[in-house]
Amino acid sequence: MTKPLSHVRVLDLSRVLAGPWAGQILADLGADVIKVERPGVGDDTRAWGPPFLKAREGTEIGAGYFLAANRGKRSITLDLSTPEGQEAVRTIVAQCDVVLENYKVGTLDRFGLGWKHLSALNDRLIYCSITGFGQSGPRAAQPAYDFLIQAMGGLMSVTGGPDGEPGAGPQKVGIPIIDLITGVYAATAVTAALAGREVTGKGEYLDIAMLDVAVNLLSNQAMNSLLSGKVPRRTGNAHPNIQPQKVYACADGDIVLVVGNEGQFAALCEVLGMPQLSADERFRANAGRVQNQSTLQPLLEDAFAARPRAEWLRRLTEAGVPAGAINSVPEALAEPQILHREMVRTYEHPAAGPVQLVMSPFRFGGLATNSERPPPGLGEHTGEVLAEFGIGALEHATTDERSVA
C-alpha cells in the first residue's frame, strides 16, 4: 500500500517527546523523516533510562523512552551551532516539505535557520515550531516540561482523589500526556498545512504551544467552569458529568463501570438485581444520578462487593454494559483485542536483534500504517543522507544550544 505521506520529506530538528512524537506519526504515515541529533550525545531521551536496549555485544543503544518516539526515522548528526552544520540544514531544507523544531524562541533565528531564513530558500516549506508557551506572550522565552504544563494548564486540579478521601490531592497523569497530545496536534497541523499547500502552492508557519494544548484538553471541565462559574473539583475515578462511572470493588478485585445512557443504566440495574432503581425518579435520568450520587453509590458498591469480578464482568458484558478490569501495562499489551489488532510488533534491529515496539493506531483501508524502520542508532544514516543531498563529510563538534520545549 502506498502510504498517505510517502511523497513528503521531513527534517526533524526536535528532541525529547512532543516534537519526536509528531515526527514518528508522520513517519508511520509514510513520510521520510530525517532526525538531526547532537554529535556524540544525540536526543536527550537516549539516556533517559534504565531500561535500555542493548546491542548484541552489550553496549547500550538507547533508552526505552527514545525507542517509544523515534520509530521510522533516519538519524544524522549535525552541530547546528557551527557554520557547516547550518549550511547542511539549508541544503537539506531546500528539498524538504516540513521542518519540525522545538528550540528556545529565537535560537534558530540566531543560527540563520528560523522560518524567515528557511522559507526564503523554499517557499513551499511547512515550518512547525513546538514550545512550552508559544512564540509570543510573557512566558514565551521560558522552558517547560510536561509536568509543569499539566499543573499550569489545570489538568492536575481535576485529577486525583477528592478532598477528604485518603490520598487526596492533585495528581499528574501517569504518562507525559501533554507532550504526547502536543505531538498529535502538531502532526495534525502539519497534515492540514500540506493539504492547504495543494491549493495555495505556498508553505506555512505553525506555532504549537504545550500550554495551549493543555487548556484545550480541559474540554468539558473548562465548559463546566465557564457555564457554572464554579471551580471544577477532583472527583477521583468518578465522572463529574455522567453517572455511574467509577471504580467498584468486587469480592476479589476491582472493575471499571462506564454507564453512558439510560438504556445502559436500566440494563445495569437488571444485572445487579435492582430493577427498581432505574424507575426511581432520583436515578432515572443522568442529571438525577449525578445530583444524587451520595445515595446511589452505596447501593451499587454493596451490590458489586457481593460477587467475584469475573462473574460481574461476564454478566455486564452479556447485558451490553461497558465494564472492564483495570489492566497493568503488561496485561494491556497482552489483551486479546490488542493482539488481534497487532498493536505490538517485533522489529529486527540491526544492532540489537529482535525488539518489540508499540505500533501506530492508524489504519487505512484496513491496513496498519507502521514504518518498516526500527528506531535508528545515533548518526546511523549520516553518510547516507549527506550523500543524497551532495554534502561532503563534516567535522562534528559537540556543542549545542537546544532547549527543552
pLDDT of residue 395: 65
Query: Residue 77 and residue 60: Cα distance in Å, rounded?
Result: 18
Q: What percent of the chain has pLDDT over 90?
A: 84
Domain locations in the chain?
9-216+345-388, 260-321
Q: How far apart are CA 42 and CA 403, in angstroms?
A: 13
* CATH code at 260-321: 3.30.1540.10
pLDDT at 57: 80
Q: pLDDT exceeding 70 applies to what percent of the chain?
A: 97
pLDDT, tens digit, for every residue of 155-189?
999 999 998 888 899 999 999 999 999 999 999 99
Q: Taking the mean position of all CA atoms in its chain, how far away is CA 368?
A: 18
400 is catalytic: no
**Is it the case that residue 240 has pLDDT exceeding 60?**
yes
- Active-site residue, selected from the candidate residues 179, 252, 254, 400: 179
**316 and 268 Cβ atoms separated by less than 8 Å:** yes
Homologous superfamily of domain range 9-216+345-388: Crotonobetainyl-coa:carnitine coa-transferase; domain 1 (3.40.50.10540)
Cα–Cα distances (Å) from 269 to 207, 277, 298, 302, in that order, read 50, 6, 14, 13
What CA–CA distance (Å, rounded) separates 128 from 346?
31
Point out which residues pair with 364 in neighbouring strands. Answer: 367
263-296 b/e (C-beta count within 10 Å ≥ 16 → b) = ebbbbbbebbeeeebbeeeebeebeebbeebeeb
Q: How confident is the model at residue 217 (pLDDT cuts 50, 70, 90)?
A: very high
- Maximum distance among all alpha carbons in the chain? 79
**Residue 404 clears pLDDT 50, i.e. is over it:** no
Helix then strand count (H, E) for the chain reads 16, 15
Contact 19, 108 (CB under 8 A): no
Q: Is 354 exposed, middle or buried (0-12, 13-18, 19+ CB in 10 A)?
A: exposed
Predicted confidence (pLDDT) per residue in 357-374, tens digit: 999 999 988 778 888 889
